[in-house]
Amino acid sequence: MIESVVTKRLGALPVAAEFLRRLDVAGIVDALCPPDPRAELTHGQVIEVLVANRLTAPAPLFRVGDWARSWAVEEVFGVEADLLGDDRLARALDAIAPHLDRLAGSVGAAAIAGFGIDVARIHWDMTSMSVHGAYPEAGQDEDYPMVKFGHPKDRRVDLKQVQAGIGVAADGGVPVFSRVLSGGAGEVSQVVGAIQALKALAGERRLLMVADSKLYSWGNIGALLAAEVDFIAPVPASKISDEFWAGLDLQQAAPVDYTAEREEHLPPEQRGHYRVLQDIQRIPGPRKRDPVLQVRRILVHSTGNAAGQRQARTKRLAKATAELEKVQRGASGRYYNTAEKLAARVGVIAKTRRVASCLRTEIGTDEEGRPTLAWHFDEQVLAVQAAADGWYALIASRPVEQATPAQVLLDYKGQGDAERRYGDFKGTLAVTPVFVQHNRRVAALVQVICLALLVFCLIERQVRQALERDGDGTMPGIYPGRRRVRPTGRMILHHLGELQLRIRGATDPPTIILSQVVQVDLLDLLGLDVRRPRWLQT
């Protein structure tokens, strides 16, 4: 008798299953959407499988069944691939759609409690996802986020979109809160709703909300102050003139002990340096009778930003110079034979090269009545711009007794975690493009991907915490050459993705096939015993 042996992809399925179990995702979904006793699968089981798919090999709904057949989904989750048709997956999305905020809040609370996440500081940000299809407004359900044209972050202005906002805890960069929003919703108008949800997650703890410049509005800041939620946000550059920055004395600013993670390997003389001052920012309301709000303003100077701005301005001026010289040579020629044509072309150059503030031009005529162009850059304006290089401002609500100007800057620096998570959201988890027929299902699918992002970040956090307990937070084997690095969630899933499961028969237990030492190390750091995994014992 020949023994049949079947090999399936295992990848990070057991890791995903363990973290989903600890979060009780299936239990939370089934409590919100009670299953039909006659159904072979509950909605919770389906949603867990969809999350696992996003973490291992993201696929459109109609391909999830094929993925489950080649991967060890039945062995890990107890779900047969034939039950994962796109109709069944769509019904699960329909079921959770009315409960997306409660689902996100319940799972986020489970993550905070189960993994001990510190949510004293939350970074809030939004992003957009392009959606393929017509999605006429008349055919959409107004009770759910609408697929609309907006201001896409991926610059696909030809496509409609939906948006997502996430609240990322500074502790490990974990997105403990998420919300799906209509494609046309303004970022400024969403802050108050996020405040209320995040404050509920924080409970009795005092919450510090860190956001981007979209938070800066009289209404948002007033709502934050009224809710007694501490906040930090950058002041839009348009609110402060270059002349103000040029008038500051950099030597009066206090140095800040901070080094960006990307520069830690550089010698001290090549690293960027920061200095801070502080004063008051006054924010008038939209009406004259509205009270003027006053908050602390931290004035930050970054040598790295200054160098980048100088380089960018030099490039803009060089390109503008080349184009203006070309126009000057062609004055009175075929293309620029009138003053109006000269002026129009110069205007285009000034706008596209962003030199309008310093460009001075004079369009006249020569002795034969032909148009001429004379131009120069205003050196005084350029000197003011150069003196303003590297400066930006933050507003903060906490008094100086609770947070020095340097501490405000350090707290704000974590905002990159939220932006980095959107890279994972759209890259590793393949959120775009979205191909779903109804806006209700679009919203539900985006929320499922937000749950996958939460699991993804918890995996990264647990590995890093384990490494920090036992050493310097780095490990070899992640990249070729055995150099030691801090593992990212993407690289953790990449290495676990090579795991396979060998199934010999009904009487013999399946065997996990490991091909790299780093796989054993990662599973150990994640607390999973490959010899007696929980999912093989049930």
DSSP 185-232: --TGGGHHHHHHHHHHHHTTSPPEEE--GGG-SHHHHHHHHHTT-EEE
Pairing of the two strands 391-396 and 230-234: antiparallel
Tokens 């997306």: give the residue. 100
Can you tell me the mean pLDDT for 433-447?
79
Read off the pLDDT of residues 282-322 as tens digits, 9 standing for 90 and up: 999 989 899 999 999 999 999 999 999 999 999 999 999 99
- Phi, psi (5° rounding) for residue 446? -65, -40
First vs last Cα of the chain: how many Å apart? 29
* pLDDT (average), residues 157-177: 84
Q: Kindly list the distances between the CA atom of residue 508 and the CA atoms of 3, 4, 8, 512, in Å, as whole numbers in the listed order.
A: 11, 11, 16, 13
Distance CA 461, CA 220 (A): 31
Q: Is 354 left (phi over 0), alpha (psi -120 to 50) or beta?
A: left
Residue 199 has pLDDT above 80, yes or no: no
User: For the ranges 223-232, 368-377, 451-460, 500-509, which has the lowest average pLDDT?
Assistant: 500-509
DSSP-assigned states of every residue in 447-469:
HHHHHHHHHHHHHHHHHHHHHHH
Instruction: Give the separation between CA 51 and CA 75, rounded to whole angstroms.
Output: 16
**Residue with more model confidence, 143 or 47:** 47
Distance of CA 203 to the CA centre of its chain: 24
Q: With contact defined as beta carbons under 8 Å apart, do 185 and 147 qualify?
A: no
Greater model confidence, 442 or 421: 442
Q: Which two tokens stand for residue 143?
A: 């009770």
HEC string for 302-352: EHHHHHHHHHHHHHHHHHHHHHHHHHHHHECCCCECCHHHHHHHHHHHHHH
| C-beta of residue 508 within 8 angstroms of C-beta of residue 468 | no
User: What tens digit of pLDDT does each residue of 123-149 get?
Assistant: 888 877 777 777 777 888 788 888 888
% of the chain exceeding 90 in pLDDT: 49
Cα-Cα-Cα-Cα dihedral sign, residues 530, 533, 537, 538: negative
Strands 6-9 and 500-503: antiparallel
pLDDT tens profile 50-73: 999 999 998 888 889 999 999 999
Of 275, 239, 234, 212, residue with least CA distance to 393: 234
CA 28 to centroid of chain Cα atoms: 25
Question: What does the DSSP 8-state code read for residue 277?
Answer: E
Question: Beta 208-210 vs 230-234: how paired, if at all?
Answer: parallel
DSSP-derived letter for residue 396 is: E
> Structure tokens of 519?
């796989």
Confirm if 414 and 123 have CB atoms less than 8 A apart: yes
Closest CA to 59 of 79, 37, 41, 81: 81
Angle at 418 between CA 414 and CA 424, to 5 degrees: 130
- Is residue 72 within 8 A of residue 12, CB to CB? The reply is no
Contact between residue 360 and residue 376 where contact means Cβ atoms under 8 Å apart = yes
> How far is residue 20's CA from residue 159's CA, in Å, rounded to a whole number?
33
The pLDDT assigned to 535 comes to 53
- pTM for this prediction: 0.82
- What is the mean predicted confidence (pLDDT) over 108-125? 89
pLDDT value for 422: 61
